[in-house]
Amino acid sequence: MDNIAGTRSRLVWAVNLSALALVLIWIIPTFGLLVSSFRDRDQITASGWWKALFPSEQNVIVRSAAPDTQRLDGDLYVIEGNVFAGGPGEVIAFGTSSREPTVYAPGETGVMSNGREMTVSAAGDYRITSPEQFTRSRGIRIFITSIKPPKFTLENYERVTFAEGLGRSFLNTFSVTIPATVIPILVAAFAAYALAWMEFPGRALLIALIVGLLVVPLQLALIPLLKLHNDVGIGKDYLGIWLAHTGFGLPLAIYLLRNYIAGLPREIIESARVDGATDFQIFRRIVLPLSFPALASFAIFQFLWVWNDLLVATVFLGNNEEQLVMTGRLRELLGSRGGDWEILAASAFVSIVVPLVVFFAMQKYLVRGLLAGSVKGG
């Protein structure tokens, strides 16, 4: 028996560890970008995000104070200052030219042309001397390799929200999402009730049609609808995109709601009919309140789908300040600021945060909707 108990507990360990490994693999990508979004710009390019908690080594070029701060010390002209401008940091090497940026150790004296000399201490204090007066208007370049302590900042978020226009896009996305979520629910709820509880010829055919429309690729609809919208005059307009999202969301809405409403107990609806309630009353007083879970499921689907959509927004909305949604802005930033990870990371998280909150708050309904949508009869 010992043996069996032993394998059992080893199996439990193996399962726990594999689950942990899987979860880690799944969250590390997001986590990495999240950490990066709080890091200083120079540090992101100097070391990987997994080293964010450790001091990082970076090569930078600093300019000394401008020559008009020079003073005469004996027969030498001197410029002095600190490469970290008083901030924390440690110089581990420096140089006077781009050909040899790390040739001197801190404290040594580097020789430059025209008899000039430069020395940088480990704390970053520099002293540049010259037998003749410094004449150029800009400071002297100092090449340093330094160790900087980790630095976390909210600057990236501040910058993307205001300077990069993400704040505006945030509002635009909201204006697209809320109506595009609310309107299809109403239209679909009535249709679903009719398909579930009313008798009329062609009902089965309609249900089959809706199941078929569930998988019609969006791509097919873009060109004809853009032409149609342009002809009607809502080509690049909020009204157009609301209607488009409503149309594209309807098959799933009707399908989910019909399945749910058809599963309500027959007795309730029959007895209401016997009591003389009209279909409209039954729908409003009985069916609608009872179907709340299904309505919530669909609302979350549609919300996430519209919020995260890029294709429909690109086609049916313009590219200007008033209409660019967050996904569109993110795509634009990927093109124009390809390597600026501090901007991209912060922007990505601004756009992700709302769906994530909705997701974690309403996960129960989302799962229920998924199960109703695909497992039924499977």
Site for another protein in 81-120 (CB under 8 A): none
Site for another protein in 314-373 (CB under 8 A): 315, 322, 327, 330-331, 334, 341, 344-345, 347-348, 351-352, 355-356, 358-360, 363, 366-367, 370-371
Give the residue with the Cβ less far from another protein, 123 or 228. 228
Place of tokens 């600190």: 82
Sheet holding 141-148, edge to edge: 56-63, 141-148, 90-95
Among candidates 181, 183, 215, 206, which has minimal Cα distance to 303? Answer: 181
**Site membership for another protein, residue 244 (CB under 8 A):** yes
Q: How far is the CB of 73 from another protein (least distance, A)?
A: 38
Sign of the dihedral defined by the CA atoms of residues 22, 25, 30, 32, in that order: positive
Residues 146, 92: contact at Cβ < 8 Å?
yes
Site for another protein in 31-70 (CB under 8 A): 32-33, 36, 44-50
DSSP string, 329-357: HHHHHHHHTTT-HHHHHHHHHHHHHHHHH
d(Cα 165, Cα 177) in Å, to the nearest integer?
19
Q: How far is the CB of 239 from another protein (least distance, A)?
A: 7
Measure the N-to-C terminal CA separation of the chain; round to a whole number of Å. Answer: 40
**Site membership for another protein, residue 29 (CB under 8 A):** yes
Q: Contact with another protein (CB under 8 A): which of 27, 61, 111, 163?
A: 27
Among candidates 257, 212, 292, 262, which has minimal Cα distance to 373? Answer: 257
Q: How far is the CB of 131 from another protein (least distance, A)?
A: 36
Q: How far is the CB of 102 from another protein (least distance, A)?
A: 12
Give the residue with the Cβ less far from another protein, 67 or 309. 309
Give the residue with the Cβ less far from another protein, 117 or 279. 279
Could you give the string, one character per residue 160-179, with x where binding to another protein holds by CB under 8 A and - elsewhere?
-----------xx-xx--xx
**Site membership for another protein, residue 228 (CB under 8 A):** yes
Who's near 192: CB < 8 A, 6+ residues apart?
253, 254, 257, 258, 260, 261
Give the residue with the Cβ less far from another protein, 82 or 308. 308
Site for another protein in 246-275 (CB under 8 A): 246-248, 250-251, 254
Give the interface segment with another protein, choosing from 63-71, 89-97, 144-152, 189-197 (CB under 8 A).
Answer: 189-197
Give the residue with the Cβ less far from another protein, 66 or 191. 191
**Strand pairing class (141-148; 90-95):** antiparallel
Among candidates 128, 171, 160, which has minimal Cα distance to 330? Answer: 160
d(Cα 350, Cα 164) in Å, to the nearest integer?
12
Give the residue with the Cβ less far from another protein, 144 or 225. 225
Give the residue with the Cβ less far from another protein, 64 or 146. 146
**Site membership for another protein, residue 11 (CB under 8 A):** yes
Site for another protein in 283-312 (CB under 8 A): 283, 304, 307-311
DSSP string, 167-217: HHHHHHHHHHHHHHHHHHHHHHHHHHHHHHH---TTHHHHHHHHHHHTT--
d(Cα 79, Cα 356) in Å, to the nearest integer?
53
Give the residue with the Cβ less far from another protein, 126 or 283. 283
Give the count of alpha carbons within 13 A of 325, CB side only: 23
**Backbone phi, then psi, for 95, in 5-degree steps?**
-155, 170
Q: How far is the CB of 338 from another protein (least distance, A)?
A: 9
**Site membership for another protein, residue 18 (CB under 8 A):** yes
**Site membership for another protein, residue 4 (CB under 8 A):** no
Partners of 104 in the beta sheet?
Answer: 94
Q: Contact with another protein (CB under 8 A): which of 76, 78, 183, 272?
A: 183
Q: Contact with another protein (CB under 8 A): which of 208, 266, 271, 292?
A: 208
